[in-house]
Structure 1
Amino acid sequence: MADNFKSGFIAIIGRPNVGKSTFMNKMIGQKIAIMSDKAQTTRNRIQGVLTTDDTQLVFIDTPGIHKPKHRLGDFMVKVAENTLNEVDAVLFMVNAKEGYGKGDQYILDRLQQVKRPVFLVINKIDLVHPDALLPLIDHYKDKCDFEEIIPISALQGSNLTHLVDELKKHIPEGPQYYPEDHVTDQPERFIISELIREKVLAFTREEVPHSIAVVLENMEERPSNTVFIQATIVTERHTQKGIIIGKQGTMLKNIGKKARSDIEALLGSKVYLDLWVKVREDWRNRQSQLHEFGFRSDEY
């Protein structure tokens, strides 16, 4: 490890669908946070680790801050807000195409209480004309005492090196918290369940995505270097179950096929994926169900 090694924790915060998970995955070069064009995809804090010769940056991808509509939403917002008190720097990410919105002011009000460097990261600059950036920067710059305003494209990787260089200036000297080959603190089972959930989000219609959870029931290695995985997709209504299964099971087969491909890439093994769909009515408002599915706000 280099002399004067630096390490720090960086929270990524912003409204839903500003590209936090895409940014995280691009930074560490591997998919650990699921990506979707549907808002509020991330439900737990997911830590991604970027290690260089002289620095270790631990990025914390938080759920998008939004007005909660159920207990699961309450949990998601609490996770995001609590993270601000535990880090060395904060990246406030906004969507260049959407611009300033009500949800941004809600976050900015909370950032006024943060005693850590706050960077404004304007993401998705590949979707707007360069001339549109200056008015957007002018609009935000006086709303908070930002350490720096950095436009990026997480999808294309634009300006990410500059962002890392700036973060290095503001984090303290410290230990290497994770081994060099670690890219996340999340267990393998969690990432697998998230990859399955990502495919449900990608394939299903508007009424389904946010009412699902994925539970890994069994995971075991079998002969011929094959990993057997049995998982249950939980939803709130029988009509949603029908949509996920699809006519003659075609939707579920497509979800399974795409998920299996990503899981095999993650594990480096052949995977036999056995998917089931169950109904748990109104699970997002039931504390016992939230705990069973891993959403425990008392841990944050």
Structure 2
Amino acid sequence: MAAQWPGWVTGVYWGALECTGTAQGVQGKGARVPVSCAPRVTAIPARWSSALGSILGIPSEKPSDTLGQHPPPVATSKEEQDRLLRGRPDQPHNPKVLRIAIIGAPNAGKSTLSNQLLGRKVFPVSQKVHTTRCKARGVVTHEDTQLIILDTPGLTSPFKAKRHKLEEAMLTDPWDSMKHADLVLVLVDVSDHWTRNSLSKEVLKCLSQFPQIPSVLVLNKVDLLKNKFILLELVTELTEGIVNGKKLEVSSAFKDNSSSSAKSPVQITQTSPPEKGDNTWDNSSDARASESRLGTEEAQQPKHYGPRDLKNMKGWPFFQEIFMLAALHGEEVDTLKRYLLLQAKPGAWEFHSSVLTSQSPQEICNNIIREKILEYLPLEVPYSVIQVTEMWEEGPSGELLIAQKLLVPRKSHMTMLIGRGGKVISRIVQEAGQDLMNVFLCDVRLRLQVEVKS
């Protein structure tokens, strides 16, 4: 049982890592975290299937196992992490590398997707916008290939940045990441019916400034759509009807029969090249029955788009591929990961294979705690909390001891952060401690103190 640390307004959460497969909290409610201690390696299949391939009926092979090894833990010591980052990377015989920038509107799920690709949560995730405040790098190492993921803040306008009192880095970091990228993933939240039908002007401007960088459209949160047929309409709008140099033609004839609960098949036909004839595949629809024709034909090379053209554009006609997934649940993320691994080009690794992220352990800890504060405090209150780390050291049994002070501007904010009977701050400590154990793969004892800053 963990010793109580007197003088603090919260309890202490800590847990023990067991190689039998769980990490269990001793205090609190004993939350359990799945931990895999035996690495598994699988080969990358030669075939993969994007969403566009599925729409056109291109067959795919679903792998029987997940990609790669169990990702390495992050070093708990800043000195050890710095040594790995500054040291010379280990290089395989024929190394390959791909730098990936993930851009999109705030709260589109960029950090969630980054965490799923990495296989471990190192980037903060929250339902509130602007959770990611600066760029950070994640590293996926698989056999002879290294993917470098550039997780960036959501693209926003200078007006919105000023209104939310955001740092200048929130405006410049996405653009800086694009300069170093070999491929860009544009993430769109299809569950947001207010924004899903068009790319934001900031995203279009960013893409138009770097037309030489290959781009891929990723439709996220597709599990939240009841009518999956909407995805076909979104594909047409977000791509301006052009994908990988091919023109897409989508026409639909809805058969709305509200009196019948039977589901008629959706017919998707590839009409180009015309000399090969038509091929039809049957698929089930989750909503009303419909007939759809999806045709592809050679499209003219799109012209260069200037600022005036962007004002009238809703989508981007230079996407090479389209993927549809649910990043929160990891659905189809491995499909995207395989595609990214196959896009890697010969080149030296930038990071040691033991590196998972360029962040320091203290930065990861701060972000995880701030993520929980964002989740539990209302409106703009979380953005005014200042975090001060007062203790970061290894305990007598190898556990990580962390003590942090949370400074708030008002006493009312302190009351909200602590909660009745300390329930809110206790949940923050418990959930943050659980996440930190999963990052560092060691026992974590976390304590938080809340004060009104003078």
TM-score normalized by the length of structure 1:
0.85
Mapped partners of 1:102, 1:135: distance in 2? 11
Cα distance per residue 1:165-187 (max 9 Å; x no partner): 33345443111222223211111
SS at match of 1:112: helix
Match of 1:83? 177
Are residues 249 and 138 of structure 1, via their aligned partners in 2, closer, same or farther at CA, if it must alter by over 3 Å?
same
Cα distance per residue 1:209-234 (max 9 Å; x no partner): 33334332320112233322111223
Match of 2:206? 110
Match of 1:95 among 147, 169, 189: 189
Match of 1:158 among 331, 336, 340: 331
Cα distance per residue 1:21-65 (max 9 Å; x no partner): 111111111010111111211112121111111311011111112
Q: Which amino acid aligns with 1:241?
A: M
Q: Which amino acid aligns with 2:173?
A: V
Q: Which amino acid aligns with 2:449?
A: W
Structure with bigger helix share is: 1
SS at match of 1:24: helix
Cα distance per residue 1:62-107 (max 9 Å; x no partner): 1112221244343312222221112111111010111436771221
Match of 2:223 among 122, 126, 137: 126
Mapped partners of 2:407, 2:237: distance in 1? 42
Match of 2:153? 63
Give the structure with higher Rg (CA). 2
Mapped partners of 1:53, 1:212: distance in 2? 42
User: Contact 2:124–2:131 (CA<8 Å) still a contact in 1?
Assistant: yes
How far residue 149 of structure 1 moved from its aligned partner, in angstroms, is: 1.9
Mapped partners of 1:13, 1:239: distance in 2? 36
Match of 1:183 among 356, 359, 363: 356
Match of 2:234 among 136, 146, 149: 136
Match of 1:212 among 385, 388, 408: 385
Match of 1:72? 166
- Structure 2 unaligned blocks of 5 or more: 1-90, 241-314
Q: Which moved more, 1:255-264 or 1:182-191?
A: 255-264
Are residues 265 and 156 of structure 1, via their aligned partners in 2, closer, same or farther at CA, if it must alter by over 3 Å?
closer
Cα distance per residue 1:92-139 (max 9 Å; x no partner): 101011143677122112210113111111111111132110000101
Q: Which amino acid aligns with 2:215?
A: V
User: Contact 1:97–1:127 (CA<8 Å) still a contact in 2?
Assistant: yes
SS at match of 2:133: coil
**Which is bigger in relative contact order (C-alpha 8 A, separation at least 6)?**
2
How far residue 280 of structure 1 moved from its aligned partner, in angstroms, is: 5.3
Matches within 5 A, 1:225-244: 225-244=398-417
Are residues 177 and 254 of structure 1, via their aligned partners in 2, closer, same or farther at CA, if it must alter by over 3 Å?
same
Mapped partners of 1:214, 1:105: distance in 2? 34
User: Contact 2:136–2:150 (CA<8 Å) still a contact in 1?
Assistant: yes
Mapped partners of 2:152, 2:367: distance in 1? 14
Equivalenced residues, count: 281
Match of 1:290? none
How far residue 202 of structure 1 moved from its aligned partner, in angstroms, is: 2.1
- Identical-pair percentage: 33
Are residues 278 and 15 of structure 1, via their aligned partners in 2, closer, same or farther at CA, if it must alter by over 3 Å?
farther
Are residues 2 and 229 of structure 1, via their aligned partners in 2, closer, same or farther at CA, if it must alter by over 3 Å?
closer
User: Contact 1:24–1:48 (CA<8 Å) still a contact in 2?
Assistant: yes
Match of 2:108? 18
Are residues 255 and 33 of structure 1, via their aligned partners in 2, closer, same or farther at CA, if it must alter by over 3 Å?
same
Report whether the alignment pairs 1:31 with 2:121: yes
Mapped partners of 2:235, 2:198: distance in 1? 17
- Structure 1 unaligned blocks of 5 or more: 282-300
